[in-house]
Amino acid sequence: MKDNINQLIKPITTTVNSIGHLEIGGCDLVELAKEYKTPLYVIDEATLRGVCKSYREAFSDYEHVKFLYASKALCTSAITKILDDEEFGFDVVSDGELYTVYRTGVDMKKILFNGNNKSVDELKMAIDLEIGRISVDNFLELATLDKIADLKKKKVDILLRITPGIECHTHEYIQTGHLDSKFGFDMMQIDMAVDLIQNQYKNLNLKGLHAHTGSQIFETKVYCDEIEILINELVRIKKKFNIELKEINIGGGLGVRYTIHDNPPSVHDIAASIINSVKTHCEELNYPYPLIYLEPGRSIISTAGTTLYTVGSKKQVPNGRKYVSVDGGMADNPRPSLYQAEYTAQVANKANKDKNEKVTIAGRYCESGDILLNEIKMPKLEAGDILCVYNTGAYNYSMSSNYNRTSKPAMVLVNSGQSDIIVNRETLEDIIRNDVIPSRLR
């Protein structure tokens, strides 16, 4: 049976033990909360490795494919090490992500640097580390990159990122492929860019095209439409410029199941659509099969992650909602406030109890909009209960902040009954580490 992990709400190792506590990776979540304190990010190694295996198996019928983990979803040294072990490369979008991957010991040829406004220092760093590809987003970057490469006497392999004009049905903030987007060259600018690379920017080697349609995608057709556009462009560029580009990067964006109302296609569903679409269009247009880069992020890490909170105070609004507060919120998970994102939760120490009370889970931060879960059914909650929120591996830690001057949570990796710290909890000293009081104020 094929593993369709991105269609699961909970990690694959989730169970309830004999005393009614939730376990993930063979670890009692209540005990994890006691040992490491809360809020606490928990990553299930088996789920993470399982979804990587699913991607490799799903695309096994197409030999020209490379997987680049979209590091923006969650980038830590341990996560990078696991994904490197699982034969993934990395799509990075900042010097911080690039440095993390580099320090983990990853082969730099497996790296693609993406982003719409890379700094000069970031481009210099990418060239110095001799990464595999830079996805160039605009004309300024083309000129800047060529100049830096010339000074360093190096040739740089690039992709052109384009906006294919496809709108997927997702939140407008995470659509990236439609025409009105900050990312990439418009379709009408491609020829000018190719001409510059051919005739002026002699230090740049154009390898192919890159497009991305968005995130949390629930439609396989989006990928088919994107591939049709990319293959047609490869054919057109060959005819006009006599260049046979051999690579396409189709981005990532596969959705995951945060709640029972979400119905994303599986990894195997999109693989079948992508492979069939590439083969069909290439055969119809007599173009050689390209190397496909795929950039999954959310679908790789999201289901593997959960967040644990400790329940605190309660408030019943007369003739209104019942609020239950926890010791985290929008600083460790800003997605509900940003995107109105919804999640599924369970009480780790009352996993077998009936859900007979409707409550709103509020965060601890000084914002009325700091609501993690709105009007969900829970067992009767008391101070000290441990709340487990599922599917928080992607964009929770990576978007976390020190709002209200609070410390970022710790992160643990669980597997076969063992738990290991992979990100230390910040201390109060960490909070003030970079503060400086000018001498004139002393």
Reduce the DSSP state of residue 299 to 3 states and report it: helix
Residues whose CB falls within 8 Å of the CB of residue 405, separated by 6 or more in sequence, listed in order: 431
DSSP state of 9: S
Reported CATH class of domain 45-301 = alpha beta
Say if residues 252 and 297 touch (Cβ distance below 8 Å). Answer: yes
| Residue 171: per-residue pLDDT | 39
**CA atoms of 302 and 43, how far apart (whole Å):** 9
366 belongs to the catalytic site? yes
Distance CA 195, CA 142 (A): 12
Domain ranges of the chain: 5-43+302-432, 45-301
Confidence (pLDDT) at 105: 98
Matching residue, tokens 């001409």? 195
User: Out of 27, 168, 282, 366, which one is annotated catalytic?
Assistant: 366
For residue 83, the model assigns a pLDDT of: 98
Measured in degrees and rounded to the nearest 5, phi and psi for residue 56 equal -65, -45
CA torsion sign for 74, 33, 379, 26 is positive
Q: Which residues contact 110 (CB under 8 A, 6 or more apart)?
A: 66, 68, 84, 88, 89, 90, 132
User: Which pLDDT score is estimated for 165?
Assistant: 78
For the chain, the helix, strand and coil percentages under 3-state DSSP, each to the nearest 5: 35, 25, 45
- Please give the structure tokens belonging to residue 218: 């629930």
For residue 139, give the nearest of 155, 166, 116, 157 by alpha carbon: 116
Judge whether 311 and 40 are in contact, CB under 8 Å.
Answer: no
Burial code (b: 16+ CB inside 10 Å, e: under 16) for 393-413 equals bbbbbbbbeebeebbbbbbbb
Class in CATH terms, 5-43+302-432: mainly beta
Tell me which residues of the chain have a pLDDT lower than 70: 1-3, 167-180
Q: How confident is the model at residue 182, as a pLDDT? A: 81
- Owner of token pair 């993934």: 88
Rg (CA), the chain: 23
Please state whether 190 falls in left (phi above 0), alpha (psi between -120 and 50) or beta.
alpha
Q: Are 170 and 217 in contact (CB under 8 A)?
A: yes
pLDDT at 231: 97
